[in-house]
Amino acid sequence: MKKKNQLLSAIALSVGLSLSASVPVFAAIPTQVPGQAAIPSLAPMLEKVLPAVVSVQVEGTAVQSQRVPEELKKYFGDESPDQQAQPFEGLGSGVIIDAAKGYILTNNHVISQADKISVQLNDGREFDAKLIGGDDQSDIALLQVQNPSNLTQIAIADSDKLRVGDFAVAVGNPFGLGQTATSGIVSALGRSGLNLEGLENFIQTDASINRGNSGGALLNLNGELIGINTAILAPGGGSIGIGFAIPSNMAKTLAQQLIQFGEIKRGLLGIKGMEMSADIAKAFNINVQRGAFVSEVLPNSGSAKAGIKSGDVIVSLNDKPLSSFAELRSRIATTEPGAKVKLGLIRDGKPLDVEVTLDKSTSSSASAELIAPALQGATLSDGQLKDGTKGISIDTVEKSSPAAQAGLHQDDVIVGVNRNRVQSIAELRKVLESKPAVIALQVMRGNESIYILLR
């Protein structure tokens, strides 16, 4: 089967516009007047930073749908060619955040479904890479190169200190052309409602971001990482100066969790809410225009125990102002369960501070293929049996996937692998790091204990 080449793009949002063909426009190059100061240049900063930005190359197999007439489907049964696996190759970008250990941040959509991952440095060296973990909710993934040597890591800035108007530089591998730098400014902060990811709190920039830039670096003028380039608004498929990046603080927190646990452990505030608006402010006679309006407090949650009430408006988290409910949700979801957070509220027109201990979110899960290719098609989460025995729950199994063909069922609970007791996704990942030729899973299915062999 002929391989389908695929450029993994910064996600494009189609808004149905038609653009005319672009015409090259050549700007005059400024010249230095004798006796005047030298023209400012980004070159000295970029020369130090470019070695920390890599090209990510992936190979894998993706399922592509093919339409089959309904009258013919009965002849195919489970082998219907409605969905066929086809090989693909893809390109993206990444950022080295730990040179000694070879850790690289990229986007989850760059490496999803990849069977093989490699990275190329700007000096031409290539390394194989393994996936430490990925999070589709935030679109962050962490890679580790094998046997790293003489790598350059990037310094990470505090993205909470960004302001609209700050200069920004995007670096990546657009269209597979090779390392490319573009410049602009921070156009907006806290962008959400784009329906790109489950968690949205983007930096918006007009620094040109194109297909292949996904996972690359958004920098300040000090050469420090302020964001991971992730998406573009691209009616015609190319950059129109509206790009989005995951803030560096969010990416750093998620990377630390992936390194420590191999998965994301999400905190849960225990409320339901909505964006604060002029209509809500008028209806409830609240003199606040921005923040998160609390519509419901879940019983026995950390918020309920802290005394938060429906009708409260959350205006700050750990003394940092909140612009929206989406920002609150994003920041809480990247904070570990058990952490204490300080919330600033407005209740009956008066300010109030409360401390909430975050619960553990029950919605966090991991794609099993990130742990072992033989488990592709299943999603896992930390769970337990009725008697309290801890294990790894099989939440979903895709029909005809490798996991389904191996015999795994939804609601199975993995309690052992290769005669090792496992109680969490992190423990399962650790056992399988050695890549055994055969994987023997001990699975509880109802009250029955069975073994399933994977190769």
The pLDDT tens digits of the residues spanning 27-72 come to 444 555 566 666 789 999 999 999 999 999 998 876 554 444 444 4
78 is catalytic: no
Query: Which fold is adopted by the domain 159-261?
Result: Thrombin, subunit H (2.40.10)
Mean pLDDT of 430-437: 78
- Out of 55, 109, 359, 367, pick the active-site residue: 109
Share of the chain above pLDDT 90, in %: 36
d(CA 303, CA 309): 8
d(CA 338, CA 13): 37
Q: Is 335 annotated as a binding residue?
A: no
Query: Which fold is adopted by the domain 366-454?
Result: Pdz3 Domain (2.30.42)
d(CA 106, CA 169): 17
- Out of 118, 208, 214, 324, pick the active-site residue: 214
* Tens digits of residue pLDDT in 372-389: 777 877 878 777 787 778
Domain locations in the chain as residue ranges = 159-261, 267-360, 366-454
Judge residue 207's burial from the number of C-beta atoms within 10 Å of its C-beta, 0-12 exposed, 13-18 middle, 19 or more buried.
buried
* Tens digits of residue pLDDT in 387-431: 778 888 887 787 777 888 889 998 889 999 988 899 888 788 878
Least confident window among 42-56, 219-233, 384-398, 437-451: 384-398
Q: Is 272 annotated as a binding residue?
A: yes
3-state secondary structure (DSSP) of residue 11: strand
3-state secondary structure (DSSP) of residue 413: strand
DSSP label of 40: P
214 is catalytic: yes
Q: Is 409 annotated as a binding residue?
A: no
- Out of 135, 136, 139, 359, pick the active-site residue: 139
pTM of the model: 0.67
* Tens digits of residue pLDDT in 244-261: 999 999 999 999 989 888
Beta bridge partners of 101: none
Q: Is 213 annotated as a binding residue?
A: yes
**Would you state the torsion angle of the CA atoms of residues 124, 127, 132, 135, taken in this order, to the nearest 10 degrees?**
40
Q: Which of these CATH numbers, 2.30.42.10, 2.160.20.10, 1.20.140.150, 3.40.50.2300, describes 267-360?
A: 2.30.42.10
139 is catalytic: yes
- CB half-sphere exposure, 31, CA atoms < 13 A: 3
| Fold agreement (267-360, 366-454) | yes
Q: Is 192 annotated as a binding residue?
A: no
Token duo for residue 336: 């570990």
